[in-house]
């Protein structure tokens, strides 16, 4: 009997080793994309990216583009100019035009851009009341357009939104920013602040007649706009600089944002507090 038990011990050990190996194989198969695959997917976006020709031209110059939005600006003196300076002096500059640091912000609710169709409900109401059939895309609306609606939204922003918001980059499973260009995906760090932002967005949806679905789960800070597609053969050349930019962002973040504010814009480089 002792001999039989002695023979069984190696068999049990072998079965345990086989089981462990099987578990490791299954874990490897289920682990999802590795770090190199994630980086490749980030870079592939730049090859196939659809250039926003309404906002930027083929020389990397920002074009007139008018509208209304509610944003939380990045506070000054947080070292964010290092991001712009790096982009400006790296290989990324051949394809991306850096925005001024003074324009850095997180969009809370995108109200409406003048060139967007169909127009939102408050604009349509104003057009109907004044017999207007066509909007001039080359400037902001007249001061009387949406006046009461915009005033209400401005007041609610002051009442409902946090006085400051702390954000950090959204990370992939390997602890790298999910996306950094054209815009860095971010997340609000304090749950109470997130709830305040969500509640405010719900209120804006009622006021302006649209949910701004593009932003749901995709809060971001735009650093650049792409003005040239990256040729496939140049992807490796910008890969190192993209990772260096990610490293730099990880050193600078988290950062503080100001309280949300209703602003107007004439292009993507400057956002001015709404005033009548």
pLDDT number for residue 275: 86
Report the pLDDT value the prediction gives residue 174, as an integer from 0 to 100.
87
12 and 94 share one domain: no
**pLDDT tens column, 151-165:** 999 999 999 999 999
Residue numbers of the domain that contains 114: 35-273
Residues 39 and 2 in one domain: no
Shared domain for 16 and 42, answered yes or no, is no
Cα 257 from Cα 116, distance rounded (Å): 28
What's the pLDDT at 40? 67
Instruction: Please say if the pLDDT value at position 105 is more than 80.
Output: yes
The string of pLDDT tens digits covering residues 48-103 is 888 999 999 999 999 999 999 999 999 999 999 999 999 999 999 999 999 999 99
Give the pLDDT band (50/70/90) at residue 29.
Answer: very low
- The confidence score (pLDDT) of residue 193 equals 99
Q: What is the pLDDT of residues 7-23, one digit of tens each?
A: 555 566 676 666 666 66
List Cα–Cα distances, 256 to 74, 161, 162, 177, in angstroms: 6, 14, 11, 18
| pLDDT for the residue 44 | 72
Q: Are residues 111 and 13 in the same domain?
A: no
Domains in the chain, number: 2
Tell whether 9 and 58 lie within a shared domain: no
Same domain? 10 vs 82: no
**Residue range 177-233, pLDDT digits in tens:** 999 999 999 999 999 999 999 999 999 999 999 999 999 999 999 999 999 999 988
- Clarify whether residues 170 and 70 are in a common domain: yes
Tell me: do 131 and 158 sit in the same domain.
yes
* Exposure string for 111-135, b = 16+ CB within 10 A, e = fewer: bbebeeeebbebbeebbeeeeeeeb
Q: What is the pLDDT of residue 133?
A: 94
Q: Are 47 and 239 in contact (CB under 8 A)?
A: no
Any idea what the CATH number is for the domain that residue 98 is in?
Answer: 3.90.1140.10
Task: Determine the pLDDT at residue 23.
Answer: 66
Distance separating alpha carbons of residues 179 and 226, to the nearest angstrom: 14
Are 198 and 173 part of one and the same domain?
yes
The 10s digit of each residue's pLDDT in 238-270 is 999 999 999 999 999 999 999 999 999 999 999
Confidence of residue 28 (pLDDT cuts 50, 70, 90): very low
Q: Is 161 in the same domain as 109?
A: yes
- In this prediction the pTM is 0.85
Q: Are residues 181 and 236 in the same domain?
A: yes
Confidence class of residue 236 from pLDDT cuts 50, 70 and 90? confident
Distant-in-sequence, close-in-space partners of 269: CB < 8 Å, separation ≥ 6: 62, 99, 100, 103
């Amino acid at each position: 009997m002792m001999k039989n038990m002695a023979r069984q011990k190696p068999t049990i050990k072998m079965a345990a080793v086989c089981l462990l190996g099987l578990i490791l194989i299954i874990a490897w198969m289920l682990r999802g994309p590795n770090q190199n695959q994630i980086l490749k997917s980030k870079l592939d976006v730049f090859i196939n990216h659809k250039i926003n020709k309404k906002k930027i031209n083929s020389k990397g110059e920002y074009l007139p583009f008018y509208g209304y939005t509610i944003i939380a600006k990045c506070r000054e003196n947080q070292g964010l100019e290092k991001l712009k300076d790096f982009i400006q002096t790296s290989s990324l500059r051949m394809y991306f035009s850096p925005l001024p640091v003074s324009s850095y912000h997180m969009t809370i609710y995108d109200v409406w851009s003048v060139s967007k169709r169909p127009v939102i409900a408050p604009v349509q109401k104003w057009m109907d009341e004044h017999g207007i059939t066509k909007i001039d895309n080359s400037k902001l609306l007249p001061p009387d357009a949406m006046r009461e609606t915009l005033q209400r939204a401005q007041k609610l922003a002051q009442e409902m939104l946090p006085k400051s918001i702390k954000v950090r980059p959204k990370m992939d499973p390997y602890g790298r920013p999910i996306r950094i260009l054209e815009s860095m995906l971010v997340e609000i760090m304090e749950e109470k602040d997130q709830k305040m932002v969500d509640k405010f967005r719900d209120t804006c949806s009622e006021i302006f007649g649209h949910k701004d679905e593009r932003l749901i789960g995709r809060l971001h800070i735009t650093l650049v706009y792409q003005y040239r597609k990256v040729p496939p053969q140049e992807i490796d050349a910008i890969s190192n600089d993209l990772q260096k930019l990610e490293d730099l962002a990880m050193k600078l973040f988290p950062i503080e944002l100001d309280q949300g504010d209703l602003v107007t814009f004439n292009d993507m480089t400057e956002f001015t507090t709404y005033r009548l």
